[in-house]
Amino acid sequence: MTTQLGGPATRALPAPEKKVAPEPRDRSLASQIIKITLLGLVVAIAIWASFPLIENKAWIGLALLAATTAALLYLYLTPRHIPAKYLAPGTLLLIVFQVFPVLYTASTAFTNYGDGHRGTKQEAVVAIQTASVTQVPGSIEYALSVATTGDPATGPLVFLITDPATRAVSAGDAGGLRKLDPADVTVTSAGKVTAADGYTVLTFGQASLRSKEITALAVPVDGGAIRSSGLSRAYEGKAGRVYDAGCDCVRDTTTGKTWTADGKVGAFVGEGGDRLAQGWKVSVGFSNFTRVVTDPDISGPFLRTLVWNFVFAIGSTGGTFVLGMLVAVSLHSKRVRGRNLYRVLLVLPYAMPAFAMLLVWRDMFNKDFGLINTFFGTDVDWLGQPATARIAVLLVQLWLGYPYMFLVTTGALQAIPAELSEASRIDGAGAWQSFRRIVLPLLMVALTPLLISSFAFNFNNFNAIYLTTEGGPFAPDNPANGATDLLITYTYRLAFGGSGAQYGYAAAISIFIFLIVGTISAIAFRRTRQQEEVYA
């Protein structure tokens, strides 16, 4: 008995280890199940995503999807490439939703992409001709019935038009016009088509839902196009401007003036240098970049904006840092009672929603009923004058940003051993000297990386300007560039502003911004590292 009992007893020592040993396998079984489920989910999503691609014959997209899925399956089933397993999810998201759009944008910096330069030359010619179609005296008027070959709500639209004289019915779409066999159509005495073989005639209700498409549809005919006028009448208009392939130019049929195609600028240019509004997208090389330097109308505002942009970024970062540090240093003393209360109250602005507080500040600076003028009894048009508007946005930045600097400086101060400044005091240094020589350098080591990222963030602080001044006030002679504009709000206005989008030029400025911020940050980070070597 004893020996029998003794047997297991002697093995009792390694037993707990044995108990531990199978556990990883248990977990790995569980993790295997999780892994297989997740991979199954990936495959399921891929299959779900592939149907619309197949339906729309988007073969490139389908190939990319299949390749990505296969790569993911391989990556997570092979025991190799461990770092890639951890980097794949974030990198995939990064590439699809950030790198790809950014690269695409950057590539437009070398084109004239924008309003009037969106499509191909062929599209521009069609647009010019169709846009110039007008109803001239003597234009033939037709009775119009709108039909489709597909679903009434989404199918391609066809115009069924009845000739007023012959009552012959023709069908027309963007491809052209062709006659229908009179036996296939039923026409009322007013010329309205009620039924036609192979077409579904839209009811008035169905047609009015698609009135925008109907207005946009032009059926090209010799020398012009047939367009709708309302939902039941159409006219054959004459194109005022016609493309002539012989001279590669557009000719105005009434005045005889010509505009010759210029492949370099992607537009039809007249003899006097005037351009037709409809052009096409071409590569323009570096001209978007050189324009910033050479065109005096642009380089002047650009330089002014750049200078103010630096003032704003340095002012915001420096101002918040100095104030935040001042408050943090002041409250960093055991003799100050209620430090926690101070801290809770001071941090409140940081926790308020920034976008909303920017709008509140905008209204507080309002000239007529803003709080600031009422409270101080002044009558200053704060956001209406360049100087005060700049002070105002910097003040808003100070308010929004200094609690954060206060928090981080407090944290950094707590990490500095009190013995250091005590020792310097004993050695005879004054309070200021000990702060200047001991505390500040140590603070800077901890906080410089933060100040750099704060600078980079403020350099492109779109919300701070857009939600308060929107870049204004604007000089009357230059509505495109305001006194508080940062490069980024200026670029935004170029790309999406009311006076015609200039995506290519806006993209070029984005690259400038990227280079400026990137260079400054790189230099600053390098210097910090040297600093750390000195003090660490």
Partner 1 sequence: MKWFKKVGWRHAVGVVAVVFSLGPILFVISAAVNPLGTLSSSQIVPSGISLDNFTKLLRDTDFGQWFLNSVIIAGTASAVAVFVSALAAYVFSRRRFRGRRTGLLSLLLIQMFPQFLAVVAIFLMFATITDYWPVIGFNTWWGLVLLYLGGALGVGTWLMKGFFDTVPRELDESATVDGAGHAQVFFRILLPLVAPVLAVTGLLAFISTINEFIFANIFLTDSSAKTLSVGLWGLVAAEQRNTNFGMFCAGTLLTAIPTVLVFQLLQRYIVEGLTSGAVKG
Cα separation, 30 vs 10, in Å, equals: 32
**Residue nearer to partner 1 on the CB measure, 260 or 448:** 448
Q: How far is the CB of 431 from partner 1 (least distance, A)?
A: 10
Q: How far is the CB of 167 from partner 1 (least distance, A)?
A: 41
The residue range among 131-139, 174-182, 187-195, 454-462 that interacts with partner 1, by the rule CB under 8 A, is 454-462
Binding mask 408-447 for partner 1 (x = CB under 8 A): x-xxx-xx------------------------------x-
Name the nearest CA neighbour of 214 among 198, 200, 202, 199: 202
3-class secondary-structure state, position 378: coil
User: Can you tell me which residue has the tokens 């557009």?
Assistant: 250
Cα separation, 161 vs 196, in Å, equals: 12
Q: How far is the CB of 219 from partner 1 (least distance, A)?
A: 26
Binding of partner 1 by 490 (CB under 8 A) = no
Cα separation, 165 vs 163, in Å, equals: 6
DSSP structure string for 195-261: EETTBEEPPHHHHHHTHHHHHH-EEEETTEEEEESSSSEEEEEEESEEEETTTTEEEETTT--EEEE
Q: How far is the CB of 251 from partner 1 (least distance, A)?
A: 34
3-class secondary-structure state, position 78: coil
Question: For partner 1, how many residues bind (rule: CB under 8 A)?
Answer: 103
DSSP structure string for 440-465: HHHHHHHHHHHHHHHHHHHHT-HHHH
Asked if 239 contacts 133 with a C-beta cutoff of 8 angstroms, the reply is: yes
Return the amino acid letter for 533: E
Cα separation, 228 vs 145, in Å, equals: 10
Considering only 73, 221, 323, 444, the residue that binds partner 1 (CB under 8 A) is 323
The residue range among 126-134, 247-255, 367-375, 379-387 that interacts with partner 1, by the rule CB under 8 A, is 367-375
Residue 323 is encoded by which pair of tokens? 């104030």
**Residue nearer to partner 1 on the CB measure, 70 or 336:** 336
Q: How far is the CB of 69 from partner 1 (least distance, A)?
A: 15
Q: How far is the CB of 266 from partner 1 (least distance, A)?
A: 18
Binding of partner 1 by 399 (CB under 8 A) = yes
Binding of partner 1 by 351 (CB under 8 A) = yes
Considering only 192, 275, 343, 367, the residue that binds partner 1 (CB under 8 A) is 343
Binding of partner 1 by 453 (CB under 8 A) = yes
**Residue nearer to partner 1 on the CB measure, 97 or 204:** 97
Considering only 180, 326, 445, 480, the residue that binds partner 1 (CB under 8 A) is 326
Name the nearest CA neighbour of 468 among 378, 377, 390: 390
Q: How far is the CB of 467 from partner 1 (least distance, A)?
A: 7
Site for partner 1 in 211-250 (CB under 8 A): none
Considering only 73, 360, 429, 480, the residue that binds partner 1 (CB under 8 A) is 360
User: Can you tell me which residue has the tokens 């101070």?
Assistant: 342
Binding of partner 1 by 384 (CB under 8 A) = no
Asked if 259 contacts 170 with a C-beta cutoff of 8 angstroms, the reply is: no
Binding of partner 1 by 97 (CB under 8 A) = yes
274 strand-pairing partners: none
Q: How far is the CB of 442 from partner 1 (least distance, A)?
A: 12
Binding of partner 1 by 90 (CB under 8 A) = yes
Binding of partner 1 by 492 (CB under 8 A) = yes
Residue 448 is encoded by which pair of tokens? 């410089």
Q: How far is the CB of 277 from partner 1 (least distance, A)?
A: 20
Sign of CA dihedral 188, 193, 197, 200: negative
Cα separation, 260 vs 100, in Å, equals: 36
Site for partner 1 in 457-476 (CB under 8 A): 457, 460, 462-463, 467
Q: What is the DSSP letter of 473?
A: P
**Residue nearer to partner 1 on the CB measure, 141 or 213:** 213
The residue range among 96-104, 123-131, 198-206, 240-248 that interacts with partner 1, by the rule CB under 8 A, is 96-104
Binding of partner 1 by 63 (CB under 8 A) = no
3-class secondary-structure state, position 267: strand
Considering only 371, 391, 440, 523, the residue that binds partner 1 (CB under 8 A) is 371
**Residue nearer to partner 1 on the CB measure, 156 or 411:** 411
Q: Which strand (E) or helix (H) includes residue 159?
A: strand 157-162
Binding of partner 1 by 374 (CB under 8 A) = yes
Name the nearest CA neighbour of 54 among 42, 66, 43, 44: 66
**Residue nearer to partner 1 on the CB measure, 85 or 192:** 85
Cα separation, 451 vs 481, in Å, equals: 28
Tell me the helix, strand and coil percentages in the chain, rounded to 5.
60, 15, 25
Binding of partner 1 by 378 (CB under 8 A) = no
Binding of partner 1 by 96 (CB under 8 A) = yes
Considering only 181, 368, 477, 533, the residue that binds partner 1 (CB under 8 A) is 368
Binding of partner 1 by 498 (CB under 8 A) = no
Sequence-distant contacts of 106-110: CB under 8 A, at least 24 apart: 106/507, 106/510, 106/511, 108/503, 108/504, 108/507, 109/288, 109/289, 109/504, 109/507, 109/508, 109/510, 109/511, 110/283, 110/284, 110/285, 110/286, 110/288, 110/504
Considering only 7, 9, 28, 294, the residue that binds partner 1 (CB under 8 A) is 28
Binding of partner 1 by 190 (CB under 8 A) = no
Q: How far is the CB of 397 from partner 1 (least distance, A)?
A: 12
Site for partner 1 in 99-158 (CB under 8 A): 99-102, 104-105, 108
Binding of partner 1 by 506 (CB under 8 A) = yes
Q: How far is the CB of 287 from partner 1 (least distance, A)?
A: 19
Binding of partner 1 by 280 (CB under 8 A) = no
